[in-house]
Structure formats: structure tokens, C-alpha cells
């Protein structure tokens, strides 16, 4: 067993027998003909399954599973607003109980270690549902919380939720002044220094921090403290010359400023924050298409006097119900966000790779829906690119303020695969998307997900920001998708594309892999970058490609698949490319190897065989493991459609060949 630095214990995954428990042993080599036959059969079944999953409007959307903090915070919000009902409470509790581990904890990803803040929030939610502290599952949880340092050791966001009910003191939380809204964009720590997801959360939280509301607590939580009489003992400050020490002292200064802040200035700042929040509410009532900003925006506006029947709040609360997934057993799971645009473009590419005709009615319907989702107005991205015309796509159903670069690149690639009846409309939309993506290139030649040059080192240093990544620097996976799209559009030799390629080559890890920001992890990064470089004209014989191939071959599991645990974000040496084999991660490795010209290699044959063997009879794959990320390590995602679209893409490219081999400009 290998002990991790957070005190949990987990065995490093073996190379052998790491697929699902229902897999049969790897058969004797059946030869290339047998593998190809199995791949064709698996591809046909997967195609039928995916086509059957399309919504009548043309989109696909799989569940987006994260962790139980979403469900716990939803109940706490309803308790705070006085709208919690018994049906919702018990359905949420049923889901939360089902996610608890034997040791009493809750994790943030499948098979991961217990996580303190998640366990605290889940415990409090179950207390709201009527579970008592002396019940065995609750006693195990509270004992573990105390062993880990109690509430005092939890993240700031957890303690904010507790402060709303007097379970924690507001004065013992980092200060977040609403005057932040006035910082000009050239000033450090202005709101546009934060990534869009953090920005949408922090602005309403400045109002909550200023108001410091407390609702009557329905029960005490003494059992979650190591010392109920002194739950937050004073801690020594870090050295003044260190970044941590400097920001700790800044926080102390902000606490003093709170006492002397001019009332009129503070009131005006909160009013400006409320305008900022309301201006960014989407047409369906949500904020940015994601749940956390919606929750905090509702609280902030309610504190500023908006009653629950005000249209802004009424629609905001109603939008939260659309994040709920009701399961057959009566449990209710909350999605952090929804991914229809992402799922639809990936499904379209997968079906096209599998040989579905470009004029197939379902692909045409998908293209029509995607065209209707194009964003044609400026959003927060225009703060740094005021002259750039809009164009592009977001991730969610409704998120006009935050189109993202990754989705835009993949939507363009998907639209290129469809024979739409209105060719001019399609070409114009593609042209706007390409122009917008090029305009969002950062100064280092790469691309982030939502913003340009969102790389300030200061936001992550704030004592308040301990909940995950709060900036949006360029990443290899997003840059690779843009480069691949530009290559397909005949722009391989454009200087902007070449800068992106140079950045990717420089970012390769010494072992031959690439870091994956939005997917787990080095397998995802490598599976994204290699196809992009090849599409852009980098030959399979290039040293960078050969190093990537060698790395992928070295981390292939004995069952023929590939897998990588989220712990690779925290413990790189032990976990890079290591984990139980999954369908999606096996597919990512295969996409890289196939692009590199390895279609006849043993590694590819074994990977294809893994996908064929582990496929269910209905054409789907099972994948409980989390292979996506919101914040690396801190916030993990199981995209339920990944297990379908990526294996189908890989099988299609194995059977039918690389789709962009003749791309313009390559």
C-alpha cells in the first residue's frame, strides 16, 4: 500500500486486470482481422446506441456528476430562504447517503480519498434531513471530521455556509469587500483577474461578506469541532516576506477597513455589485449556466431586498431546479452545470467518424441545433477584447456571457462534418467562430478556456480562494483543439497557428506526455495534442510525437486499456498515466496513437480489443470513474457521455482511418 500525504491510503493501480470486474480475461491474440471485425461490430452497436440517445430537438446531454457538496448546498440554500420542502430534502438525502463510504466520509471522485469539507457539508445536509448524530453512519462521519481537525480545517466556502446559520463566526472568515467591484481592470485583483467561474461567484459573495447574515440554526454542530468551546484557535501568521504572509496581513487590514468603510461607499458598491449580477442573469434565470454562481447570486440579491416573488429571484430559484436529476430510486442529484453543446459537438464528430453519412437527418438536426446556439453578442471576454466581433459557442444551454474557446473549436470541427442544407449559414457561423477563437489567443501563443491572458498570480494567493483554481491560464488541451480546428480550416501555416504549435511543443513533459487541464490528465492532454499536431502538419516521425507514443505505450495497462486517477494532479510521479482502465481514457490514448500512424501496432490492437470486450450488449460502456475536471484535483467531473462519444470516435478512426488526413493546409 502507498500512503498519500493527506493521510489516506490507497494502492497504486496494477497494470493487470484493471478493467471493470465483469470483463473476461484478455483472449489469446486473434490477429488483426479478428480485432478489426470486433471493432466494426462494437462501432455499429455504439453508433446505434448514440443515435438513440439524441433529443428530439437535436442535442445530446449526458449527466454531469460531481460530488455531494452540490446537493448539500442546495438544501442549505433552501433552508436559508425558508423554502426547503420534505420531498426535495429526502430525495437529496437519499442520494447523499448513497455516496457515503464505509469509513463515514465522502469523496470528491469515485475511489478517491475522503475529503473534509465535502464530508462536513454532507453531514450537515443529512442533519437537515433528520439523521441524528448518534446514528452509526453519522457518528463515523463526525469522528473522522474531528480527526482531520474539525470545521476549523475546512475550506472557506464550507465555513461560509456554516456562518449563514451561526455555526461559524463571520469575523473568523477572510474579508471580501464589495468595493472590489470598483477596481479598474489594470489594477491587481480586479474582478477580471479572476477566471469567469470565480468572478461570477466572488461578486455576489462580496455582498454576502458585507452583510454577514445569520439565520437561526436548526440544531447545534458541536460534534464537528475538535473543541466546541474554542473551535477556531489563533494561528501564527506566515513570515511577512512570504506571499502567504503578505496576503494574511492584507486580510487583517481589510477586516479593519470594514470597521471604518464609509457607509455610502459600501452601499454604492453593493448596489453596483447587484447591477453586475442582474446584468449577467441568463434568459432562463440562471447565471453562467452553472449552479454555484446561481446559488450565491440568489442569496446576495435576497439580502439586498429582493423578495422571493421578484422576477429576478423567482426565475433564479426556478433555474436551480433544472440542475436536478431525479433517479429511478427517488434520489435527487444536482448537476454543477449541464453540457449539451459540448456533448452534441462531440457526439456529432463521433458519429461522423463512425461512418454516419454527412447528410444523415440526425446529424443535420444536430448541426441545426448547434447553429441556433451561436452567441452573437459581447460578454465578459470583451473587456479585454473590446474590438473583437462576437461569435462562438458556450458549454451550456444558456450562457451568452461566457462562450468558451474549447467548445467553439469543437463545434466548428463538428459542423465541418455535416452536410447542412443552408451552406451559406453554416459557413458564416464557422467563419465567425474561427475569427473569435483567433482573437482570443493569449500573448504566449496559446489559448485559455474563457479569457485572454487570465494569468495573474495574485488571485490564487488570497486567503479567500482555497476552493480550487480561480484563474484561467492557457492549457495544452484547449490550445490543441484550437490548433486542430485551425488546421482543418486550412490555417496550418498561419503565423497564429504556428505560435500555438510552438507553445505546444515547448509544453511537452520530459516523459513525452502533456498536462490535461480539463480532462484527466496526462492521458487526456496527450490524446488532445498529438492529433492536433499531426493535423497541423507535424509528421508522425517528429521526436515530440515519438516521445508521446513511447509514453502512451509505457503506461498501457495489462488489460489493454488506459486509465489515470485524479491523484495524478497532486502526486504526479506516482499517478501520471496510472489508474484503472476506462473507456474514455483508452479512447484518448488510441486517438493519439492512431494520429501518430500506429494503427497496426500491438498497443492499438490491444486498446481496441479492450473497448470491444468491455462494451455492453446495448452498445454502451460502464464508467464510474471521473475522467473530467472543473478544477484539477479540487473539483472532479464524471461526464456520463464521455464513455460513449470518445470510444466511438476511436473505433471509427481505427476502422475508417483518420478523418482529417487531407485537411487543407496540412
Per the structure block, which three cell numbers stand in for 82? 425558508
CA distance 479 to 492: 13
Nearest to 438 by CA among 483, 400, 379: 483
Which listed residue (353, 400, 406, 407) is catalytic?
Answer: 406
CA distance 448 to 228: 45
Q: Residues 491-529, buried b or exposed e (16+ Cβ, 10 A)?
A: bbeeeebbbbbebbeebbbebbbbbbbbbbbbbbbbbbb
Contacts of 588 (CB under 8 A, 6+ apart): 519, 523, 524, 526, 527, 528, 562, 646, 650
Q: Are 559 and 25 in contact (CB under 8 A)?
A: no
Torsion of CA 322, 324, 325, 329, to 10 degrees: -140
CA distance 626 to 605: 25
Looking at 373-422, list the stretches that DSSP marks H as alpha helix, in order from N- to C-terminal side.
405-415
Per the structure block, which three cell numbers stand in for 233? 484557535
CA distance 357 to 662: 18
Contacts of 429 (CB under 8 A, 6+ apart): 371, 374, 391, 415
Contacts of 261 (CB under 8 A, 6+ apart): 177, 179
What does the chain come to in residues? Answer: 666
Farthest CA pair distance, the chain: 78
**Helix/strand/coil for 600:** coil
* 37-41 LR contacts (CB < 8 Å, sep 24+): 38/608, 38/609, 38/612, 38/613, 39/608, 39/611, 39/612, 39/651, 39/654, 39/655, 40/655, 41/612
Beta-sheet pairing, 635-639 with 324-326: unpaired
Per the structure block, which three cell numbers stand in for 67? 460530488
406 is known as an active-site residue:
yes
Query: What residue has cell string 446556439?
Result: 373
> For residue 268, how far is the Cα from the chain centroid?
34
Q: Are 504 and 469 in contact (CB under 8 A)?
A: no
CA distance 78 to 76: 5
CA distance 93 to 181: 37
CA distance 551 to 530: 12
Radius of gyration of the chain (CA): 25
- The helix (H) or strand (E) run that includes residue 325 is strand 324-326
Q: Are 351 and 321 in contact (CB under 8 A)?
A: no
Contacts of 439 (CB under 8 A, 6+ apart): 385, 388
CA distance 101 to 113: 10
- Catalytic positions, please? 406
Amino acid at each position: 500500500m502507498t500512503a498519500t500525504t493527506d493521510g489516506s491510503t490507497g494502492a497504486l493501480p496494477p497494470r493487470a486486470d484493471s478493467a471493470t470486474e465483469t470483463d473476461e480475461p484478455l483472449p489469446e491474440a486473434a490477429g488483426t482481422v479478428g480485432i478489426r471485425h470486433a471493432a466494426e461490430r462494437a462501432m455499429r452497436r455504439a453508433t446505434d446506441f448514440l443515435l438513440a440517445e439524441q433529443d428530439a430537438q437535436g442535442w445530446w446531454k449526458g449527466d454531469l456528476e460531481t460530488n455531494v457538496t452540490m446537493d448539500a448546498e442546495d438544501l442549505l440554500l433552501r433552508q436559508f430562504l425558508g423554502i426547503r420542502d420534505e420531498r426535495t430534502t429526502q430525495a437529496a438525502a437519499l442520494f447523499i447517503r448513497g455516496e457515503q463510504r464505509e469509513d463515514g466520509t465522502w469523496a470528491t471522485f469515485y475511489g478517491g480519498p475522503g475529503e473534509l469539507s465535502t464530508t462536513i457539508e454532507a453531514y450537515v445536509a443529512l442533519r437537515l434531513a433528520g439523521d441524528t448524530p448518534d446514528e452509526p453512519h453519522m457518528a463515523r462521519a463526525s469522528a473522522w471530521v474531528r480527526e482531520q481537525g474539525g470545521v476549523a480545517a475546512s475550506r472557506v466556502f464550507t465555513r461560509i455556509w456554516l456562518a449563514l446559520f451561526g455555526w461559524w463566526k463571520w469575523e473568523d472568515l477572510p474579508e471580501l469587500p464589495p468595493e472590489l467591484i470598483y477596481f479598474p481592470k489594470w489594477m491587481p485583483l480586479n474582478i477580471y483577474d479572476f477566471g469567469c467561474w470565480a468572478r461570477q461567484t466572488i461578486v455576489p459573495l462580496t455582498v454576502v461578506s458585507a452583510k454577514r447574515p445569520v439565520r437561526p440554526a436548526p440544531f447545534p454542530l458541536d460534534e464537528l469541532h475538535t473543541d466546541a468551546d474554542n473551535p477556531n484557535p489563533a494561528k501564527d501568521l506566515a513570515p511577512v516576506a512570504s506571499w502567504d504572509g503578505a496576503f494574511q496581513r492584507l486580510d487583517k487590514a481589510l477586516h479593519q477597513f470594514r470597521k471604518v468603510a464609509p457607509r455610502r461607499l459600501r452601499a454604492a458598491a453593493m448596489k453596483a455589485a447587484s447591477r453586475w449580477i442582474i446584468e449577467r442573469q441568463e434568459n432562463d434565470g440562471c447565471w453562467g449556466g452553472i449552479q454555484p454562481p446561481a446559488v450565491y447570486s440568489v442569496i446576495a440579491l435576497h439580502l439586498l431586498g429582493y423578495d422571493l416573488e421578484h422576477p429576478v429571484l423567482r426565475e433564479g430559484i426556478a433555474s436551480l431546479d433544472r440542475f436536478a436529476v431525479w433517479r429511478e430510486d427517488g434520489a435527487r442529484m444536482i448537476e454543477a452545470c449541464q453540457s449539451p453543446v459540448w456533448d452534441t459537438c462531440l457526439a456529432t464528430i463521433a458519429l461522423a467518424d463512425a461512418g454516419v453519412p454527412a447528410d444523415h437527418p440526425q446529424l443535420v438536426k444536430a448541426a441545426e441545433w448547434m447553429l441556433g446556439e451561436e452567441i452573437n453578442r459581447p460578454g465578459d471576454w470583451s473587456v479585454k477584447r473590446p474590438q473583437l466581433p462576437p461569435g462562438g459557442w458556450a458549454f451550456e444551454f444558456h450562457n451568452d456571457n461566457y462562450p468558451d474557446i474549447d467548445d467553439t473549436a469543437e463545434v466548428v470541427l463538428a459542423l465541418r462534418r455535416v452536410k447542412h442544407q443552408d451552406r451559406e449559414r453554416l459557413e458564416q457561423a464557422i467563419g465567425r467562430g474561427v475569427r473569435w477563437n483567433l482573437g482570443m489567443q493569449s500573448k504566449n501563443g496559446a489559448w485559455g478556456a474563457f479569457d485572454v491572458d487570465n494569468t495573474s498570480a495574485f488571485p490564487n494567493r488570497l486567503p479567500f480562494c482555497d476552493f480550487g483554481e480561480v484563474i484561467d491560464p492557457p492549457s495544452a488541451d484547449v490550445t490543441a483543439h484550437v490548433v486542430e480546428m485551425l488546421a482543418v480550416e486550412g490555417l496550418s501555416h498561419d503565423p497564429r497557428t504556428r505560435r500555438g504549435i510552438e507553445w505546444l511543443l515547448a509544453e511537452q513533459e520530459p516523459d513525452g506526455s502533456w498536462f490535461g487541464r480539463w480532462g484527466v490528465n496526462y492521458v487526456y492532454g496527450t490524446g488532445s495534442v498529438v492529433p492536433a499536431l499531426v493535423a497541423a502538419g507535424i509528421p508522425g516521425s517528429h521526436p515530440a510525437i515519438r516521445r508521446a507514443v513511447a509514453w502512451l505505450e509505457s503506461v498501457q495497462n495489462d488489460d489493454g486499456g488506459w486509465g489515470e486517477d485524479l491523484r495524478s494532479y497532486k502526486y504526479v510521479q506516482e499517478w501520471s498515466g496510472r489508474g484503472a482502465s476506462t473507456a474514455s481514457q483508452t479512447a484518448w490514448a488510441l486517438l493519439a496513437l492512431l494520429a501518430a500512424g500506429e494503427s497496426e501496432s500491438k498497443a492499438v490492437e490491444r486498446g481496441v480489443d479492450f473497448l470491444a470486450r468491455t462494451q455492453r450488449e446495448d452498445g454502451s460502456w460502464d464508467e464510474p470513474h471521473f475522467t473530467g475536471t472543473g478544477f484539477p484535483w479540487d473539483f472532479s467531473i464524471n461526464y456520463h457521455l464521455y464513455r460513449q462519444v470518445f470510444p466511438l470516435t476511436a473505433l471509427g478512426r481505427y476502422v475508417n482511418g483518420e478523418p482529417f488526413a487531407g485537411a487543407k493546409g496540412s
